[in-house]
Every structure is written in structure tokens, then in C-alpha cells.
Amino acid sequence: MTSKKRTAFRWTVRLLMWTATALTAALVVALVVYVMAKGVPHITWELLSTETSYLYDRKGILPNILNTIYIILAALVLVIPLGVGAAVYLTEYAKNKRLVAAIEYAAEILSGIPSIIYGLVGMLVFSEFLGLGSSLLAGALTLVIMNLPTIMRSTQESLKTVPQSYREGAFGLGAGKWRTIRTVVLPGCVDGVITGCILSVGRILGESAALLFTAGTANNLNGLFEAMTAPGSTLTVALYYYAKEEGEFEVAFAIAAILMVLSLLINLAATWVTRHFQRRKAL
């Protein structure tokens, strides 16, 4: 190649990369602007504070907001002890390194499985076999299984960053293994647990397939405990439902705008938590 040709080649490559970057950025911006423009005008107080009523020809997504909160709470309450417990066992107690590696590998695979498969299995196991029917509880349990690997892995990573010298210090004072873990190791990995939770909440917010199978599409206003045993749709499921089944695009876009803002907030929270704890660790 002559040097002229080489320069031309270099410029072509640079131009292509530029175009790709610009296109990506433009797509993101366009998508956000489009959704916001179509959704925000329809976010009204009535929409946020009531339930849909055909009698009064009113659309409201309060039940869906509540269902989303309920299902996140229920899933986290169950998944945190399980995931943290599993992580502590695997990193602090388990002796069989091969088994640990196998479980970690399985967890990686689990987190890559399409969520609709979790939905299918959740429906068969929780709704049918355990007789929970279409309910938020069945949905929450399905979400627990989906998010268990996330919480477990992020806790594990965080456990590994707790300095060995802390453990030695505690053991050297005559503290037993469990006391050492509880008082010195676990406080040092709160950041990992929180990061895992934030990731999970983001994932739950965006989940539709797994919940369509297990939690149903009802839009009734319920308290926390009745909601658990009744079918109910989260915001994302409701979005699908209003758009696809009812052709109510105004409501659908309003929900979409809300979800977008929420996921932005969640990303910010994740960044903030990571930075906050990094600073504390650097101290």
C-alpha cells in the first residue's frame, strides 16, 4: 500500500467509527425524546392516583404502581437472605473448590437465561404445583429465582474484597468464624449487597415475560397482603396490556415515560452507591 492509500484507508475507518457512534447516540436521544414527548403529557394526577374504571371511563395506574412496589419488596425480602447466605457459604465456608466453581458457573448461566423460561417454570412450579395460582407471590418467587444469581455474585465479589487482615484480627482475638463474619466481614460487603439489589430492582422493573406467566394482568387496587395472593400486573406488564390488548397508547406511553425515569434513577443510584463505598474503602 502506498502512503496515500493508507491515509485514505485510515480516514475511511475513522469516518465509519464516527458514524456508528453518532448513530448510536442519536438513536438513544431520539428514543428518549419520543417516549417522553408522547408519554409525559398524559401523566396526570388522576392517572397516578386512581384505578382504571370502565364504569367511569377512567384510566388509572395506581394498582400497577403499588403492585410494582409490592413485588419488588417481596422479591428482595426473600432474595437478599438467600443470596447473601449462599455467597457467605460459598466464599467463607465451602471447602470443595470444584463444587464452588461449578455453582458459580451455574449462576453465570442462570443469569443469562431468557426470562420467559423463568416464567414458564415459575408458572408450572409456583402457580400450578404449589397452587399459588396467578398471584403476585408466584411472580415474586419467580423473580427471586431470576435474581438469586445476581445478588449472590455481587455479594461474593464484595466478600472477596474484604481484607484478609480483618479476618485474622478477629480470629486472633478469639472470635469464632460466625462472629467474625457477622461483625467484621459482612459490614464490609454491604456495598456489594446494595449494588446487587439495585441491579435486581432494575431488572424487576423491566420484567414482563416472567410476570405475565405467573402474576397475571389484573389491575385491582389491593393492600400488600391481599395483593400477594391475588393476580396483579406491574407497570411493565400493564404497559404491555394497555398497548396490546386495549390499544390505549396514551396510558402505555405515560407508563413508558415513568419507567424510563425510574430506570435512569436506578442507574444513578447504582453509580452513587459504588462511588460512595469506594471512597469509604479508600480511607
CB of 282 to another protein, least distance (A): 10
**Backbone region of residue 94 per phi and psi (left: phi > 0; alpha: psi in -120 to 50; beta: other values):** beta
Select from 223, 194, 225, 215 the least CA-distant residue to 235.
215
Nearer to another protein, 10 or 276 (CB): 276
Nearer to another protein, 166 or 249 (CB): 166
CB of 163 to another protein, least distance (A): 7
Nearer to another protein, 108 or 168 (CB): 168
Cα–Cα separations (whole angstroms), residue 240 to 176, 185, 244: 52, 43, 6
Nearer to another protein, 1 or 283 (CB): 283
In sequence order, the 6+-apart residues with CB closer than 8 A to the CB of 221 are: 51, 62, 63, 66
In the complex, which residues of this chain contact another protein (CB under 8 A)?
A: 163, 165-176, 179, 183-184, 187-188, 283
Nearer to another protein, 192 or 232 (CB): 192
- Grid cell, residue 136, equals 403476585
Is residue 147 classed exposed, middle or buried when 0-12, 13-18 and 19+ CB atoms within 10 A define those classes? buried
Cα–Cα separations (whole angstroms), residue 166 to 92, 171, 182: 13, 9, 12
- What 3-state class would DSSP assign to 146? helix
Nearer to another protein, 38 or 182 (CB): 182
Nearer to another protein, 2 or 96 (CB): 96
CB of 91 to another protein, least distance (A): 14
CB of 283 to another protein, least distance (A): 5
CB of 178 to another protein, least distance (A): 11
* C-alpha gyration radius of the chain: 24
Nearer to another protein, 171 or 249 (CB): 171
How much of the chain is in helix, strand and coil states, percent to nearest 5? Answer: 80, 0, 15
Length of the chain: 283
Cα–Cα separations (whole angstroms), residue 3 to 17, 140, 224: 21, 63, 71
CB of 199 to another protein, least distance (A): 25
- Grid cell, residue 256, equals 413508558
CB of 191 to another protein, least distance (A): 12
CB of 193 to another protein, least distance (A): 16
